[in-house]
């Protein structure tokens, strides 16, 4: 079973202020450059009716809601995390194995407690829905299937407050008509490539010669696509720890207290670190520095951002600020410098999940 909390950040906002429930609610990541710069994190379903959705610029959201009484709020991660933690505890208590994927989504293996029976699994989902609704007052959608891949796609069938069950017998008919990009890991580029080869639906992909797929996409991806299109997926539900921080460290050419030299090195580190962030599509909320001094003591400083960021400029700005402050407080030379970003926010988790999938295979 895959469970995904409905319009999560916006639903959390409605939870603590029910008066906004009947209006469009938009939760945004404000970049702080100008009043309206930034992107929509998520929006409630009323706002979605006006074409407001995750990822669009805030000014565009404002434009689409022009003349409509609506509510715009900045993301408040700490609060969403506390709500999420409580709900995840409930989910966990109903599963044989439990795997949280990001702040609002989790896989529950219920095979044993449902005795392998899909009707029983559906009853379990209903019980969890009732419990979460009564104790936390949050709704979610659930997909149930013979494996994680099907459960995930099933969950998207009906939202919000959906419950979709796909039994093994239904898998083929369920998958066949879907566009290829509904499979985890098929993005716009891959979909275009597949279309060029005459594959538009998952059914087309399922029938496509696997050797040809491998020739085009490489062995790992080719086999993955072939299996996925045929509903085959044997990834277990397992507790996984995600990376909590990413860091880089380097030794300076000379021991120094010169800010220019330190920033020169740290900006190289930042550029390299930022490449990894971009690849993993991670946004961060903490930036930190480490200084190893000539007497080998380790000093660190860090800062929490007002809102999540994904840009190199922000890293460099905060790193500079932290080193300036640090140098003002310490009089020893610095030998090695390190930088760190942490408290990640997912943006495009599907791509990340796929990466994880290949790494774990």
Stretch that binds ligand TTP, among 5-13, 17-25, 246-254, 329-337 (CB under 6 A): 5-13
Considering the complex, state which of residue 4 and residue 181 has its C-beta at the smaller distance from Mg ion. 4
Give dist(CA 315, CA 273) in Å, integer. Answer: 10
Considering the complex, state which of residue 81 and residue 333 has its C-beta at the smaller distance from ligand TTP. 81
Give dist(CA 239, CA 90) in Å, integer. Answer: 15
Judged by beta carbon distances under 5 to 8 A according to partner kind, the member of Mg ion, ligand TTP, none in contact with residue 55 is: ligand TTP
- In the complex, the smallest distance separating the C-beta of residue 5 from Mg ion, rounded to whole angstroms, is 5
Binding ligand TTP (rule: CB under 6 A), the pick from 9, 107, 208, 224 is: 9
Q: Is 5 in the site for ligand TTP (CB under 6 A)?
A: yes
Considering the complex, state which of residue 84 and residue 343 has its C-beta at the smaller distance from Mg ion. 84
Q: Is 142 in the site for ligand TTP (CB under 6 A)?
A: no
Token pair 């009906």 in the structure block, residue? 158
By beta carbon distance, the residue nearest ligand TTP is 42
Binding ligand TTP (rule: CB under 6 A), the pick from 1, 3, 8, 229 is: 8
Give dist(CA 104, CA 120) in Å, integer. Answer: 24
Binding ligand TTP (rule: CB under 6 A), the pick from 7, 91, 107, 224 is: 7
Under 8 Å between Cβ of 105 and 57: no
Q: Is 76 in the site for ligand TTP (CB under 6 A)?
A: no
Token pair 């008066």 in the structure block, residue? 19
Q: Is 44 in the site for ligand TTP (CB under 6 A)?
A: no
Residue 58 CB-density burial (10 A; 0-12 exposed, 13-18 middle, 19+ buried): buried
Give dist(CA 317, CA 144) in Å, integer. Answer: 46
Considering the complex, state which of residue 102 and residue 179 has its C-beta at the smaller distance from ligand TTP. 102
**C-alpha gyration radius of the chain:** 23
The DSSP output letter for 82 is: H
Name the site residues for Mg ion (rule: CB under 5 A).
Answer: 4-5, 8, 104
- Secondary structure element (H or E) that encloses residue 71, with its range: strand 71-74
β-partners of residue 155 are none
List, in order, residues 6 or more apart from 99 with CB less than 8 Å away: 106, 107, 237, 238, 239, 240
Under 8 Å between Cβ of 157 and 164: yes
Q: Is 32 in the site for ligand TTP (CB under 6 A)?
A: no
Backbone angles phi and psi of 259, in degrees to 5: -60, -40
Give dist(CA 329, CA 312) in Å, integer. Answer: 26
Q: Is 105 a catalytic residue?
A: yes
Stretch that binds ligand TTP, among 4-12, 84-92, 194-202, 267-275 (CB under 6 A): 4-12
Q: Is 187 in the site for ligand TTP (CB under 6 A)?
A: no
Query: Of 90, 84, 86, whose CA–CA distance to 103 is shortest?
Result: 84
For residues 91 to 120, the per-residue mask of contacts with ligand TTP, x marking binding by CB under 6 A and - elsewhere, is -------------x----------------
Judged by beta carbon distances under 5 to 8 A according to partner kind, the member of ligand TTP, Mg ion, none in contact with residue 41 is: ligand TTP
Query: Of 334, 329, 322, whose CA–CA distance to 251 is shortest?
Result: 334
Tokens of 61: 């959201």
Give dist(CA 165, CA 146) in Å, integer. Answer: 9
Catalytic residue among 105, 195, 313, 348: 105
Subset of residues 153 to 172 that bind ligand TTP, contact rule: CB under 6 A: 159-160
Give dist(CA 137, CA 135) in Å, integer. Answer: 6
Considering the complex, state which of residue 160 and residue 179 has its C-beta at the smaller distance from ligand TTP. 160
Q: Is 13 in the site for ligand TTP (CB under 6 A)?
A: no
Considering the complex, state which of residue 50 and residue 217 has its C-beta at the smaller distance from ligand TTP. 50
Subset of residues 336 to 355 that bind ligand TTP, contact rule: CB under 6 A: 347
- In the complex, the smallest distance separating the C-beta of residue 41 from ligand TTP, rounded to whole angstroms, is 4
Considering the complex, state which of residue 9 and residue 326 has its C-beta at the smaller distance from Mg ion. 9
3-state secondary structure of 33: coil
Q: Which residues participate in catalysis according to the annotation? A: 105
Binding region for ligand TTP (CB under 6 A): 4-9, 41-42, 54-55, 104, 159-160, 347
């Amino acid at each position: 079973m895959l469970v995904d909390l409905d319009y999560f950040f916006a639903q959390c906002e409605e939870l603590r202020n029910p008066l906004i429930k009947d209006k469009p609610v938009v939760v945004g990541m404000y970049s702080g450059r100008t009043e309206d710069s930034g992107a929509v994190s998520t929006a409630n379903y009323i706002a979605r009716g006006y074409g407001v959705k995750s990822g669009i610029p805030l000014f565009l959201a404002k434009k689409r809601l022009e003349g409509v009484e609506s509510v715009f709020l900045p993301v408040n991660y700490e609060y969403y995390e506390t709500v999420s933690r409580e709900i995840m505890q409930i989910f966990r208590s109903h599963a044989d194995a439990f795997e949280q994927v990001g702040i609002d989504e989790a896989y529950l293996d219920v095979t044993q407690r449902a005795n392998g029976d899909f009707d029983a699994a559906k009853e379990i989902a209903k019980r969890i829905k009732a419990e979460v609704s009564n104790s936390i007052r949050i709704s979610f959608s659930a997909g149930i299937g013979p494996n994680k891949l099907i459960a995930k796609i099933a969950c998207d069938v009906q939202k919000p407050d959906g419950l979709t069950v796909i039994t093994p017998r239904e898998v083929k008919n369920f998958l066949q008509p879907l566009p290829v990009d509904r499979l985890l890991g098929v993005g716009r580029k891959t979909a275009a490539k597949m279309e060029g080869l005459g594959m538009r639906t998952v059914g087309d992909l399922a029938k496509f010669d696997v050797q040809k797929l491998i020739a085009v996409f490489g062995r790992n991806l080719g086999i993955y696509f072939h299996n996925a299109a045929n509903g085959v997926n044997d990834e277990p539900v397992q507790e996984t720890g995600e990376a909590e921080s990413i860091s880089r460290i380097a030794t300076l050419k000379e021991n120094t207290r010169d800010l220019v030299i330190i920033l020169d090195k740290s900006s190289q580190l930042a550029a390299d670190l930022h490449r990894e962030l971009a690849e993993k599509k991670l946004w961060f909320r903490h930036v930190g520095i480490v200084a190893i001094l000539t007497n080998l003591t380790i000093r660190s400083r860090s800062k929490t951002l007002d809102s999540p960021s994904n840009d190199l400029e922000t890293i460099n700005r905060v790193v500079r600020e932290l080193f300036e402050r640090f140098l003002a407080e310490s009089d020893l030379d610095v030998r090695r410098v390190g930088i760190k970003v942490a408290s990640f926010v997912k943006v495009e988790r599907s791509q990340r999940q796929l990466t994880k999938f290949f790494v774990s295979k």
